[in-house]
Each structure stands twice: as C-alpha cells, then as structure tokens.
Amino acid sequence: MNLMAQLPVLPVVIPFVAGALALLLPKGRAPWAWATFVSWLSFLASALLLREVAATGPVSYHLGDWPPPWGIEYRIDLANAIVLALVSGIAAAVAPFAYESVRAEIDERQSPYFYAAFLICVSGLLGVTATGDAFNIFVFLEISSLSTYALVAMGGRQDRRALTAAFTYLVMGTLGATFFVIGVGLLYHATGTLNLADLHLKLAGQHNRVVEAGFAFILVGIGLKLAMFPMHLWLPNAYAYAPSAVSAFLAATATKVAVYVLVRFFYSVFGLDFAFLGDALTYVLLPLGVAGMFVASLIAVFQHDVKRMLAYSSVGQIGYMLLGLSFGTREGLAAALIHLVNHGLMKGALFLAVACVVYRLGDHRCAAFSGLARRMPVTTWAFVLSGLSLIGVPGTVGFVSKWYLLEASFAAGHAWAAFMIVASSLIAVLYVGRVVELMLLREPPEQGPLSEPVKEAPLSMLIPMWALVAANLYFGLRTEFTAGFAEQAAAALMTVSGGR
C-alpha cells in the first residue's frame, strides 16, 4: 500500500490509534515520548498534505474505498489543509512542552491517560477538519470534545474549579453538538445525503423551512463550539483552569477548528445563493462578532488572572474571524482564515509562556507576573513578543491578520468595521500592556509564596515556546504559507459558494 496515497487520512488515524496505544504504556516518560513522536508524525503528514494540496489541488480520500456520496470522504483542499497543519503543528509544539508542565501539574499516575486523551483530542480535531462528511464531523467533534472534557478536568488537581469548568464545558459542548446534529439531520432530511460536496449540490435551489431550520441549528451548534459571543461563557473557565499545556493546545486549536467548520458549512455547503446565509452574516455574525470583539476584550482588561485574560481575549479574537466572515466576500473570508491560523500561533505562544510561569511559580494570576523580566527573562520576552503579535504590531502575524481584516473591511465597503477592528486592537493594547508593564517595570513580589527565587523555565519548555514565537515573527514577515494559501483557499471557497 502506497503510504502517500493514504496521506489524507494519516494525520487523523495515526494519533487516534496511537492514543489508544498510549493507554497501555507505563507511567512516566513513555506516554509523553510516544505522544510527542506521534504528534510530530502527524504534523509531518499534515505538512506533506499541505504541500501536495498546494501543488496539485484538492485531494479526496475515500474511506474504506467507498466512493462518495455513499462512503465517507476525506476531502482536503487548501482551507482544511491549512487548519490541519495548524492543529497538528500546535500539537507538535505542545507535546514536547507538555512533559515538564504536565509532570508538575498532573498526578504522574494519570500520565498515560493524559497523553491518550491528548492524542485522541488531536485526532478528533484533525478528523473534524479533514472529513468531508457532515455526520462524521459530529462524531469527531464529540471525540475531541469528550477528550477535552477529560483533559480540562485533569486540572482539578491544581484547582478544583477545573472540575466545574469541565462540567460546564461538557453541558454546553453537548448542547452545541446536539444542535449541530439536529441541523445535520434536517439537512439530511431535505437532501438525503451527508457528503458535504453532495449536500451543496442537492441544496442548490432549495428554499424551504427544513433547510432554513437546519442552517439555524448548525449555526448555533457550531457557534457554541467556537464560543460565539453570548455563547462563550464556557470558554474562559475551561481555558483558565485546564492544565497549562492543555490550555495552550485548546486555545490554539479547538475554537479554530469550529470556525473552520462554520466556514465549511457556510461556503461549501450552503453558499451565498441562500438569502438566509447573507442575512445570517449581516444580522448574526456581524453584530455578534463586533460585540464579542469589544465585550470580551473589555472583560479581559480587568481580569486578575492572566490565563482567564487570555481566554477572554480568545473570545474577542474569534469576533474578528466572525467579522471577517460576515462580509461575505473573498477578502473577508481570506482574512478570517488568516486570522484563524495566526491567532492559533499567537495564543499558543502566549499560553505556553503562561505555562512556563505556572511551572516555576505555580500561579497564573497577575501577581506572579510582577517583575518577571528579572526572574524569567526568556519567558518574559516570549510573552512580550507574542503579546505584540496579539496587539497586531507590524512584523508579527497579528499585524498580517489585522491588515487583511482592514483591507477586507474597506473592500466590502464597511469602513466603519475597520475602525471597530482597530478600536478593539487598542483594547488589546490595554490588556497586553498591563501584563507587559507588570513584567518589565515592576519589582518581583517581596513576600509570600511568589517571592521565592526562581530559575528560568527548562529548555524543553523554552524551545517549543520560542518555536511558536519564531513562527509568530516569521509568518509575520513571510506570508506565502499563511496569507497566500488562505487567499487561494478563500478564492476556491467563494467559487463554490457562488460569491464573488
């Protein structure tokens, strides 16, 4: 069997199988090593896939050799190839990082379970991205979600709030997934197919309540999963109290994948011929995106806890993606995709930096960051640089995102939206600046548990973190892999959906 021919499915299958195997490994270093190896392998596969897709166009893989629309199809075009690369790439960065971090935060006896859950989560997210089948999306969504609940709950050893956060996440996630599955059911009801491409063809010209209801359910279901503004309440706690490495991985990937699913359904399945899609863009995504940008960012400004702050910031950043989507133009879509990738990079790096602080100081409240520049300079600068990226300072990926969003706003004739974007960026200046000032200009705490002298985080944590920071900078200057691909992907999606 030609391995290359199986490429589209490898990123999903490898971690899935490996996750099960991880359960069998002894406690300690082995599960970690295995997970790291597997995540790298899966990243390699994703990268190869991306290269291939970029070179030759969309790749279709028929699971069990059943041709679509009967069988489950894995269909990789540029849009999901990018997301695959992002998810597996973040996993590849987080996995080596996790060893020290997890050892410090989680009972060692749990380590096989942890890495198993981690790998399955990766697999689930990759599966959601890779598959071309609507119900399959639901299944993988739930696979990843279930493992995520478990991962979040493992933070309970550090902070009992992780348990309640996981529970909340579970209820909301299930609610969202169920809505999604209702939506899929309605579409199936209307068309008799589950294949996304096929759905698109069959839906064409269908203007009736079933399709409309299906659309609404899918919108809300995925909206929950991606923490669209008023449905974001599960996210801050889940990210704040999960083990640090998990926070980093989830923040960089989980919501992004959900955004991708939304994009896929909007543009590949429904298409702009549907009036309700346009309306949903204008009357749901646009206001909710803007509201999220501001409300969540403002909440972030006042948070005492850096992880929670970053989590709220994520909600705000999702607002940008929704805003980009809501224009319903190629530029807007491209901007959303670019920000999707870029935000993954910057949030990943930021959460990893926080993880380093937690590793040394055992705390992620603001107080722990006071005077950090003296105590952990390498970590501090990683945080500062990725924070700048979050703000959108030129030379970082954040700027590229902002630029495309601004361009999209102007191109769509929404000049006001451009000012919304920059205004919200300024709120980001506030919350990032607050922490940066603490780190750079304050003295370390003089008493209490945080005052004890600490060393810089170990290399095994610094290297992955700086790899992500470097990615932030590199892709901030060379954008052919992010913006270039995203633009092509957006163009392809728009062609399918009938937009301009």
Q: Give just the sign of the alpha carbon dihedral 390, 466, 96, 153.
A: negative
Contacting range for other proteins; rule: CB under 8 A; set: 34-42, 46-54, 161-169, 351-359: 161-169
CA angle at 350 for the pair 464 and 174, rounded to the nearest 5° = 100
Contacts to other proteins from residues 57-86, by CB under 8 A? 65-67, 69-71
Task: Annotate each residue in 392-431 with x if it binds other proteins (CB under 8 A) or - if it does not, as one string.
Answer: xxxx----x-xxx-xx-xxx---x--xx-xxx-xx--x--
Pairing of strands 73-76, 59-62: antiparallel
What 3-state class would DSSP assign to 426? helix
Residue 286 Cβ vs other proteins, minimum distance, rounded to whole Å: 12
Q: How many residues make contact with other proteins (CB under 8 A)?
A: 121
Q: Are 39 and 92 in contact (CB under 8 A)?
A: yes
Name the nearest CA neighbour of 18 among 81, 103, 71, 91.
91
Task: Tally the C-alpha atoms within 13 A of residue 277's C-alpha that lie toward its C-beta.
Answer: 25
In the complex with other proteins, which residue's Cβ is closer, 219 or 242? 219
Residue 493 Cβ vs other proteins, minimum distance, rounded to whole Å: 18
Among 163, 378, 473, 491, binds other proteins (CB under 8 A): 163
Instruction: Tokens for 47, please give them.
Output: 């990268």
Contacts to other proteins from residues 254-293, by CB under 8 A? 274-276, 278-280, 283-284, 288
What 3-state class would DSSP assign to 490? helix
Residue 327 Cβ vs other proteins, minimum distance, rounded to whole Å: 13
**Residue that the structure tokens 């990725």 belong to:** 386
Does 177 contact other proteins by CB under 8 A?
Answer: yes
Residue 248 Cβ vs other proteins, minimum distance, rounded to whole Å: 20
In the complex with other proteins, which residue's Cβ is closer, 126 or 436? 436
Does 484 contact other proteins by CB under 8 A?
Answer: yes
Name the nearest CA neighbour of 320 among 347, 302, 301.
347
For 72, which DSSP code?
-
C-alpha dist (Å) from residue 40 to 87, 256, 464: 11, 20, 12
Does 319 contact other proteins by CB under 8 A?
Answer: no
Among 22, 130, 150, 382, binds other proteins (CB under 8 A): 150
Across the chain, which distance is largest between two alpha carbons, in Å? Answer: 69
Does 374 contact other proteins by CB under 8 A?
Answer: no
Does 366 contact other proteins by CB under 8 A?
Answer: no
Q: How far apart are CA 437 and CA 220, in angstroms?
A: 39
Residue 137 Cβ vs other proteins, minimum distance, rounded to whole Å: 12
In the complex with other proteins, which residue's Cβ is closer, 382 or 406? 406
Residue 345 Cβ vs other proteins, minimum distance, rounded to whole Å: 16
Residue 40 Cβ vs other proteins, minimum distance, rounded to whole Å: 28
Residue 157: CB atoms within 10 A of its CB come to: 14
Contacts to other proteins from residues 2-61, by CB under 8 A? none
**Residue that the structure tokens 């590849």 belong to:** 92
Q: Which segments of 303-361 does DSSP mark as H helices, in order?
A: 306-326, 330-361
Among 39, 101, 123, 237, binds other proteins (CB under 8 A): 237
Does 172 contact other proteins by CB under 8 A?
Answer: yes
Task: Annotate each residue in 216-235 with x if it binds other proteins (CB under 8 A) or - if it does not, as one string.
Answer: xx-xx--xx---x-xx-xx-
